[in-house]
Structure formats: structure tokens, C-alpha cells
With several copies, the nearest count.
Chain A
Amino acid sequence: MNAARQNRLNSFAAHGALILYTLIALFPVFVIVINSFKTRKAIFREPLALPNSDSFSLIGYETVLKQGDFFLYFQNSMIVTVGSLFFILLFGAMAAFALAEYRFKGNTLMGLYLALGIMIPIRIGTVAILEMMVQTGLVNTLWALILVYTAQGLPLAVFILSEFMRQVSDDLKNAGRIDGLSEYRIFFRLVLPLVRPAMATVAVFNMIPIWNDLWFPLIIAPAEEVKTLTLGSQVFIGQFVTDWNAVLSALSLAILPVMALYVVFSRQLIRGITSGAVK
């Protein structure tokens, strides 16, 4: 630690504030996770107690793993999430670059057009989407979900990325132009690497609603072989009786992969990625 620059008191205060907020953030999650290891009675008798020899139970996890092909669901969720993110980031960044970099007629209008999508919940377009998927035979395929999520994620991605792309030094892009890089290569080789933090941010934002979405899997891909994890866990929420052990276990399990994805993306949040580029 840098002694001259770091005020000990300040750093205590900073850690204090962060620890406090971390506790607030994690407490409910903690409640969920510890309770997923308890019997149903213990969950509701003493929701705050850690599992002990009496209350410890893996019944929830057993139910989850027994019911349906949990690993297949998991794989489907992964494919859909990663696939959608790939297209969102690729297409979104391309469009954002066009909007941020070039002055052309209709630039602002195009920006607005691409932003329209964040203003209406896509759910109300469900029937039309479903009809389209039925017509193209994409119903009950993972592609249908990927397409929908890609479309759904694009507006936000374009919006955020174009903002960040405007911060990339013009001289740098110009150096690339003089080096003979085509506009495409300038985009892929120079701009994309430099907006990695923003890409990571967009990826994280989009990953969550995609991973957690229940609606579209339920409607356009409910078949067993393309079920997603969230849809799979939904089985435990009944009309009148909810298998809380199973729900808690399924949800606890479902946190892990998103957490892993998050960690992957948040590695891209690198300090000073552009430093040294320009004087």
C-alpha cells in the first residue's frame, strides 16, 4: 500500500462502508443459501439459524437433481445466455461504433430508433414473436431464445457502448487508418479491445435478465430438451404447495453459473486500459 498517498483513516472508512454494504447485499443471499441446506421445518422455524445436525438436509438438492434433467437445463441456459451475449455484444458494438464514429445523415434518428426497444416491454410483442417463430419453425429451439434475447439486448448495448466508444481517442483511430486498417479492423482490433470495460458491463447487464427469464422459455421453448434452468426450477413452485426446499436449492444452484459468468466478465474491468496511448 502506498503510505504517502493513502490516509489510513480514509482507507478504514472506505473498507467500513464497503463491508457494511457488502453485508446488506449478501445478507438475503446468505439467508437463501443457508436455508437451502435445511429441512422445511427448520427453514420456517428459525430462518436465521445455520443448519445444524438436526436441521441439516439435502432434500431440496436431491429433489432438484431427481426432477428433470437438471444438467441439460443447465447446459441449455448456458448456451442461450452465452450465445445471446455473443450476438448482443458483436452486433451491438458494431452498431454503436457506426453511431459513435461516423457522421451521416440520420445518425441521431438511427440512434433513437435503436433505443426505442428499451422503452416498451418486449413481452407485449409475445404473440407476434411466437407466431414468427412458429412460421420459421424455430419454436422449441434454442435459436428462438437467442434471437429474442439478442433483439431485446441490443438497444441497451448500443446505447451504452456508443457512449463509451466516443471516448476512444481519435488520434488512435486515425493512426490505425493511416496504418491501412480498414474500418472493420479499426473496430475489431483497436476500438473493441479498448472498450472492454464497457463491453463487460453490457455483458453483465444483459446476462442477468437472460439467465433469469422465465417468460420466453415458457412460451417459445418449453419443450423438455430445450428447457432452461429457470424454467426447470419453476416446476417446484406450485399452485398451492410450493416445495421450498427444492426452490431454494434450485435457486442457490442457479446463482453459481451466473456468478461465474460475472467473474469472467468483471475481469475485463481493467484500470487504465487506454493509458499510454496518448501523451
Chain B
Amino acid sequence: MTALTLTNINKSFGSVEVLKDINLTVDDGEFVVFVGPSGCGKSTLLRVIAGLEDATSGTVSIGGDVVNNVPPAKRGIAMVFQSYALYPHLSVRDNMALGLKQEKQPKSVIDERVGKAVQMLDLNDYIDRRPSDLSGGQRQRVAIGRAIVREPKLFLFDEPLSNLDAALRMNTRIEIAELHRTLSASMIYVTHDQTEAMTLADKIVVLRDGRVEQVGSPMELYNNPANRFVAGFLGSPAMNFLKSAPINLPKNGTLGVRPEHLKLVKKGRIKGHVTHVERLGGDTNLLVSTEQKEALTVRLFGQDSTAIGANIELDFDDQRAFAFDADNNRISH
């Protein structure tokens, strides 16, 4: 069964069209991640799904029922806001418990669920503080906890981890994945983080300027991007695009090669010199300027000693390269 169906959703703020003809299905228990540039309408789409914003046209159905006229609370959703939106007058515990109390859950259930969330989010020490006495990351965890305790059918997360530190982010990410598995709830998740998108998603939705560019599993999008935008948006560092490519391209076409698919070789089709080296510990990125003055990134596994200024030659496996036409659409081989 489908957990959520969006049909021809449009949304304008005044004369600004923010969402344009969005169609999307989320299956029961599916984990869908929205990605897209800042301002492309991700939050707005979440708000339309939540019922906090009315679509200008189109229908939203949750669990098979059209919910255009159903108030947010009755949609069986929970939402984590990008701005946290904590209740400033309530302690951490009460922030989480309020929704449950509203549902008239017995105290034991409330205590248990809140206790579990607190545990999971490592908030034990702060349980009686108010939001104003918490750090940014702590606030964000409270906001996540507030959604978790409600155990809804559909979770809406708006960049829930953006303020967490790496360790906590990883933990929480794994917890969310686990939550997803155990609750078998559907989840819609907005993020800017490649790792989150790739690891969590069953399905990634790439949005751009209020339009859906492509929908698919992470590997599908990674390996088969429909167009240059998607190809460039997924993957970090981003895919390299070359105009003056060593292979056959249509007029004004572009060649796309992912940084990890470029190999340092003695003799290669691409020549250039290193302009900058980013050492990340686990891997190293070389920023290269080609003979044609195009910029490239090369991703090397492990720590590399190539120095800035070094002249290098690069090559790649044609099978792993992508070709885009003048309209930036992918040319399939």
C-alpha cells in the first residue's frame, strides 16, 4: 500500500511558484529522502504534506485517503522542524511528553516512550532543562525526540541532524535507520548530507526549483543520473564536468566523470597540474587544472603525498563516465 501519494501538487506564495506539479508516491515503510539546492522547496513540500500549508492545487493522500482537508494532527504524522520549534516554557521531558499527554496516553506509556527517546538521543543530563539552556545540538535532539515519541505512521524530518557533531550524527542516523526498521513507519527526510541521503534512503527525490528532477534508489541515482544536475548533485566531491573531453560528445555536450573514477597514471588522456590538495585523512582530494584550463577534482583513497603544483596525468574508465547533451540530459550508451 502507499503511505503517501502526491498528485500534481502546486504551491505559490503570492506570485512566486515554489512547487511545480509534484507527483510522488511513498510506499508503506519506505524511507524517502528529499535533496536539492537550498530554496528549492523541500521544506515547503514537507509542510504541504504535513498540512501546515495548503497546496495551491493538487491532492495529498496519506494511507490512501485524500487528506487535503484533514488537519495536521489527524494525518498521523510527526515532524521535526528545521528551526526546532521547541516549546520554550517546557522542560526537555515535557517538550517530548506534551503531544502524548494531548493524546491522553497513560502515564506509563508516556514515561516509557520518553525514557527510550532520551536514552537514544543521549539527553539524560538535560531532561529538566529548558530549551534556552541547551546548546544548538541539544535542542535539535530534543526536537527529534519529540517526533520519535509520537510513533506516527509517517515521519517528516527537516534536516534533523544538521547541528549535530559527527559522532552524534552518525549515532542518530543509525538510530533513525533502526527506528525506521523497527517502527516500519514511512519516513520523509530532508537533508543536505550526502552520507545521510545515501545511507538512509530507500528512495531519493532530487528537487530543483520546485520540480522533481529524478526519483530512484541511491545507487540508481548515483550510477544512472538522468541529467547533469542530478549527476552533479549527488556524490561528494561532486562529479567533474568537462567540455573539452577526450571522448566523442555531441555538440555542446559535456563529459561527466566522478572524482573517484579518475586515476593518476603515467600517461593519460587528461593532463594538468595540481592547484590544491585537500587531505581528509581517510582520503585525499586533488584539485587539478587541466591543460584546457578546466577544473577537476580527483579523489584518492588514503593519504597521498602529491604536492601542489605537480604536473600529473589522469585517465578514466569510459564505462564509468557519463555523457550529457547540450540540454544537459544524459545520453545513455
Contacts and interface: CB of A to CB of B under 8 A. Distances in A.
B52 interface: yes
Nearest to B83: A278
Nearest to A274: B88
A181 interface: yes
B87 A172 contact: yes
Given A174-B52, A179-B146, A276-B134, A169 B71 contact: no
A179 B84 contact: no
B50 interface: yes
A193 interface: yes
Contact of B88 (A5, A176, A178, A273): A273
B79 A4 contact: no
Contacts of A182: 73, 102
Interface residues of A, number: 30
A118 B136 CA distance: 41
A171 interface: yes
A243 to B, nearest CB: 50
A189 B98 CA distance: 9
Contacts of B63: none
A111 to B, nearest CB: 22
Interface string B77-119: 1110111111111000000001100110000000000000000
B287 to A, nearest CB: 32
B98 A4 contact: no
B131 A178 contact: no
B81 A180 contact: no
A174 B85 contact: yes
Q: Among the interface residues B83, B99, B150, which one has the most CB atoms of the partner chain A within 10 A?
A: B83
A178 B72 contact: yes
Given A178-B77, A180-B99, A180-B102, A277 B85 contact: yes
A175 B87 contact: yes
Interface bracket on B: 35 or more
A275 B84 CA distance: 12
Interface in B52-80: 52-54, 67-73, 77-79
Given A190-B87, A276-B88, A4 B67 contact: yes
A172 B143 CA distance: 11
A2 interface: yes
Contacts of A178: 50, 52, 72-73, 77-79, 99
B180 interface: no
A190 B81 CA distance: 16
Interface string B115-144: 000000000000000111110100100000
A244 B59 CA distance: 63
B51 A277 contact: no
Chain A interface secondary structure, helix, strand, loop or mixed? Answer: loop
Nearest to A278: B83
Nearest to A275: B132
A171 B146 contact: no
A267 interface: no
B29 to A, nearest CB: 21
A123 interface: no
Contacts of A121: none
Interface string A1-45: 011110100000000000000000000000000000000000000
A279 interface: yes
A276 B131 contact: yes
Contacts of B54: 2-5
A174 B50 contact: yes
Contact of A172 (B78, B85, B99): B85
A125 interface: no
A278 B102 CA distance: 22
A180 B76 CA distance: 9
B52 A177 contact: yes
Nearest to A172: B85
Contacts of A278: 81, 83-86
A188 B320 CA distance: 60
Contacts of B83: 169, 171, 278-279
Nearest to A170: B52
Contact of A5 (B51, B85, B99, B103): B51
Interface string A244-262: 0000000000000000000
Interface string A172-205: 1011111111100100011001100000000000
Contact of B132 (A7, A189, A276): A276
A279 B84 contact: yes
Contacts of B136: 279
B86 A174 contact: no
Contacts of B47: 174
B102 A179 contact: yes
A174 B85 CA distance: 8
A279 B73 CA distance: 23
27 contacts: A2-B53, A3-B54, A4-B71, A5-B54, A172-B85, A174-B79, A175-B85, A175-B87, A176-B87, A177-B51, A177-B52, A178-B50, A178-B52, A179-B102, A180-B99, A180-B102, A181-B99, A189-B98, A275-B88, A275-B132, A276-B86, A276-B88, A276-B133, A277-B84, A277-B86, A278-B83, A279-B136
Interface of B: 47, 50-54, 67-73, 77-79, 81-89, 98-99, 102-103, 130-134, 136, 139, 146, 150
Given A172-B85, A176-B87, A176-B98, 5 more contacts: A4-B71, A193-B89, A272-B132, A276-B88, A276-B139
The 6 closest A-B CB pairs, nearest first, are A276-B132, A179-B99, A276-B131, A171-B85, A180-B73, A277-B88
